[in-house]
Each structure stands twice: as structure tokens, then as C-alpha cells.
Structure 1
Amino acid sequence: MVETSSSLLQLGGPVVLVLLGISIAALAVILAKAFQFSSARVGRHGHVRRAVAQWRKGERSKASQNLLKDRSLSGALVRGAMDAIQLLDQQPMSSQERDIREERLREEISARAADRLFALASWLKALDLVTQIAPLLGLFGTVLGMIETFQTLQESGSSANPASLAGGIWVALLTTACGLAVAMPVSVAVTWFETRLEKERATLEVLLTGVFTAGAGAPQLAEHAATARAPNATL
């Protein structure tokens, strides 16, 4: 295996060596991004969705407490929004002033979410660059190899050996194959990361909208509903 790799490097020349370095760097970035997405629990929203449903029913304190142990990106942002809104509810102010402060709070939470999503998207452009430049590097190596092969053919004249010519061509095409071998898996990884990120962005928007549009009077409405059911229960 080691001998095969070293022979490929010798046949492909410096272009294959560069592609090998790029592939190692790309693999390191992919593993780091996978760990980052896993730590942020991207795509895991079941617990947060249940908390938002409780929040909209008027069980605000319970919903916020249920998210204390949730370490996901969506859980932290939604819990921050819930705690901030509950602080607003405890402060005496006019409805107009509350609407203004809630709008500012919504912008702040949205900016915080955008910042966290931007951190998740970091280095994806670098991986996307690998998917574009690796095939070009392979093609560049092939062109250089073909130039060298035809130069040898010209120098040999009529005594050129077809076998050596064919050998030179396949060696030249080796760099293109290496470039495609690097680009294809990296392209799959980039698409997967970007898809997960877009789904996370859309889900965050839905969850935060559900928190902010629950209404300031949701706890009072739930309390009145419970009071209205109480006499019927006693009867």
C-alpha cells in the first residue's frame, strides 16, 4: 500500500503531492465541522419544539426550565428569548413601550442566531474552494504531462515507441483522476453541511417566531381558562 502510494506520487509529480496535501487539509476541516455540528446538536429540535408548545399554551416558567439542560444551539437561543420575555412581563410599562422593547429584543435574538449560524458556516467556503480547485489542478497536471509526452514524441521522431507514448498519456491522466477523487467526496460533505445549516436556520426562525408571537397575555389567558373550568369541576 505504501509502495503504491509512493509510486503514484512519483508518477504524478508535484501536482499529485499538492492534491494529497489539499485532501489531508480538507479531511481535517470536515472532521472539525462534523464535531462542531454534533456539539451544537444541529437538527435535533424535538425537545425545543415541545418547550415552545408549552410556552404557547401559557406554561412559560415550565417551558423555560425544561430547556435549562438542553445544550443545542436552538435550545440556548429559544431559552434566552423566553427568559428575556418573562423579564419584560415583570416590568410595569405601557403596551406601546413593551412592543418597542420586544421588537428590539427580537432583533437582538435574531442577530445572535445569525452570529451562531455564521460560526457554523465557517470554513465551508474553503471546502467549496477545494471542490473547485482540485479538478483544475488535476487537469493542469494532465496538460503538463501531455506536453511532456508529445515533446518526447517529437524528439524521438519516426523511432517513437507507441508503448512509451501510451504510458506517458496514462501517467498524465493520473493527475486528473486524483483531482476528481479529492473533489467528489468533499463536494458531498459540503452539500450535507449546507443542507443541515439551511434546515437549522429555517427551524430557528419558526421556533423563535413561535415564542415571540405567543402574546403577552398568554399566561393570563391560560389562568382564566383554568379558573373557568374550576366551577364546572366542582359541580
Structure 2
Amino acid sequence: MTFGGRAMRSILTALAVAALAPAALAQSGGTPGAATSEAPGIPMEAPEAPAAPQAESGADAGVVVPSDSTEPLATEATPAADAETEARPAADPVPEIAPEPALTPVQQMADFLWQGGPAIWAIAALSVLTLALILWKIWRYSVAGAWSRKASFSAVDTWVGGQRDAALQALAQRRGVRSRMTHAAMQARLTLEEESAREEVSRVAKRELSRLSGGLRVLELIATIAPLLGLLGTVLGMIDAFQTLQEAGNRADPALLAGGIWEALLTTAAGMAVAIPASIALTWFESIRDGVREDMEDIAARLFVQEVPPKSKLAQAAE
């Protein structure tokens, strides 16, 4: 009886599981074997794992896909691809641009003068004139003995000491401006009255100083007008640059304006480059001339303050 009851319950349970299996399968999306495995008391085998999808054939897709390898996919070359690669024309090589040859100093100077225009030509002429004047003044001052003062002061000391003949003889062959003025002052002091002697000394000193002043006015003029010529060239160049920019209209290129401006500024730089050396040379030459003037004034003062020394015995005998 007990065995029959148990058998009956097992049969009823199996019928209930079989009836409920389709509904459970629809809800879970599983397999019938998975649904029946939930029934108690009925041993079920474990479901088999789904098989891994097989890779597609490389002959159809042209690509080999390894299943267990992490290496990147390799594309197999096909005859069609090789034919297309061979049929494609090779790209033309890019020609190399040869560097421009460096300009010589003469070519650079010619290019500079051409870009500057008439203003730079005038400034270039002034630069040549300035250099010639500076070299000429240095030579002229050397010949005039502008840097030699020892002989004149030594002769004055000899004169003050009473040896007027020795003093005159020491300056007789000298060609410096101080020596000539000192010799003329001694002669005037001996032969003329004091007032006339002073006038004679003043005349000789002015003549010698005027020789030293020759060419300084030209240097002063160059130092004044060279920057003005440079500024004039800059203004004219900027006017030309803005006219070019206006003609371009909406297609105006800022590079055109920048190029015109820097070319115009060349004249200003050139004008200053000429005016600065001219101004420095002018100041230097004027300082030398002023030093000579001060020495002449000192020599004349010493000669006229000192009493005229008595004549030597040799001079008395000659008279």
C-alpha cells in the first residue's frame, strides 16, 4: 500500500512537470532539459555548454580569424589587389628647391640703394663727403701741429727768462699754429707799441684759428640735414605703401604694407647712421680748436704781462 502510494505520487508529479514545462520554457527562454531539471526528486543531467561559433572560411571572406589567439587580424593579399597595386602609377618625386646664392657685399649695397630710392642716394653721397671731410681734417690738424704745444710753451719760458734771441730762434723754423702765433707776438712785442702789438697778435691768432675751422661748417650741415633727408624718405615710402594698399582694395595683403614700411624706414636709419659720426667728429674737431685758442690766449697774456727783456749784447752790436 505504501509502495503503491509513493508510485502514484511520482506519476502525478511527473505529469505536473510535463504540463508546466512549456510555460517555464517560454518564460526563461531555456531548453526543455533546463525546465525539467527544476523538478524535485528527478535526477537530471547537467546541460551541455554551447559550442563556440566556428570562424568563417578564409576563402570566402579573405580574412583568417583565429579563435584562441590575441594577435591582430592579418589580411591576405589577393591577386586582384596585387594587380591593382601594380597598375597604380608611381607618384612623381618632389623636386628639391635649390637655396638662393648668397649676395656679395656689393650686391647687398646695390640692393639697399635701390630699395631706398632718391633719399637714400642723397644720404649715400653725404656719407662719402663726411668720410672725406673727417680724413682731411685729421690730416690738416696734424700738419698744423694742433696736438703739439711743447715747443711754444718752452719758447715762452725762455722769453720770460730774458733770453729773447734764443726764444725767437727756437720758433723760427716751426710751422705749428701755436708756434707761428707765438713768434709773431714776440716780434710785435719788440717792434711795435703795446696797443699795436696786441692788435697784431689778435690778427694772427684769428687767421690761424680760421684755418683750423675750415670744413667744420660743412660737417655741421651734414649732421643737421642727414636725419631730415632720412625722415623725408620714410614719409615718401609710407605714402607709396599706403597707396599700394588702397589700390589692392578688399584683396589687401598686410605683408605689402609691412614691406613698404620697413623699406621706408631704411632711409631714417641711413640718415642717422651718417649724422651720428658727423656730429661726433664735429664735436671732436671743435674741442681741439678751442684748446688751441686757449693756449694762444695764455701765451699772449704771458708775453704782454712780462716786461720786455733788455736787448742782448749781440743785438746791440748789430744795431
Alignment of 1:62 with 2:159, yes or no, is: no
Structure 2 runs not aligned, ≥5 long: 1-104, 314-319
Alignment of 1:22 with 2:22, yes or no, is: no
Name whichever structure is richer in helix by fraction: 1
Task: State which of 109, 113, 118 in structure 1 corresponds to 2:210.
Answer: 118
Alignment of 1:102 with 2:206, yes or no, is: no
Structure 1 runs not aligned, ≥5 long: 89-100, 224-235
Q: Offset at 1:181?
A: 0.6
Q: Which residue of 2 is the match for residue 80 of structure 1?
A: 184
CA distance in 2, matches of 1:14, 1:134: 13
Does structure 1 conserve the Cα–Cα contact (< 8 Å) formed by 2:188 and 2:201?
Answer: no
TM-score of the superposed pair, with normalisation by structure 1? 0.84
Secondary structure of 1:66's partner? helix
- The residue type equivalent to 1:208 in the other structure is A
Secondary structure of 1:122's partner? coil
Structure with bigger RCO (C-alpha 8 Å, 6+ apart): 1
Q: Offset at 1:70?
A: 2.1
CA distance in 1, matches of 2:154, 2:211: 26
CA distance in 2, matches of 1:84, 1:151: 71
- The residue type equivalent to 2:295 in the other structure is T
Larger Rg: 2
CA distance in 2, matches of 1:151, 1:143: 12
Query: RMSD in angstroms over aligned alpha carbons?
Result: 1.7
Q: Offset at 1:183?
A: 0.4
- The residue type equivalent to 1:26 in the other structure is T
- The residue type equivalent to 1:72 in the other structure is G
Does structure 2 conserve the Cα–Cα contact (< 8 Å) formed by 1:64 and 1:82?
Answer: yes
CA distance in 2, matches of 1:84, 1:177: 54
**CA deviations over 1:68-113 (Å, ceiling 9, x no partner):** 232211101111221333345xxxxxxxxxxxx2210111121111
Q: Which residue of 2 is the match for residue 170 of structure 1?
A: 262
Alignment length (residue pairs): 209
CA distance in 1, matches of 2:207, 2:168: 22
Secondary structure of 2:296's partner? helix
**CA deviations over 1:35-69 (Å, ceiling 9, x no partner):** 11111111321111111011111111111111123
Q: Which residue of 1 is the match for residue 24 of structure 2?
A: none
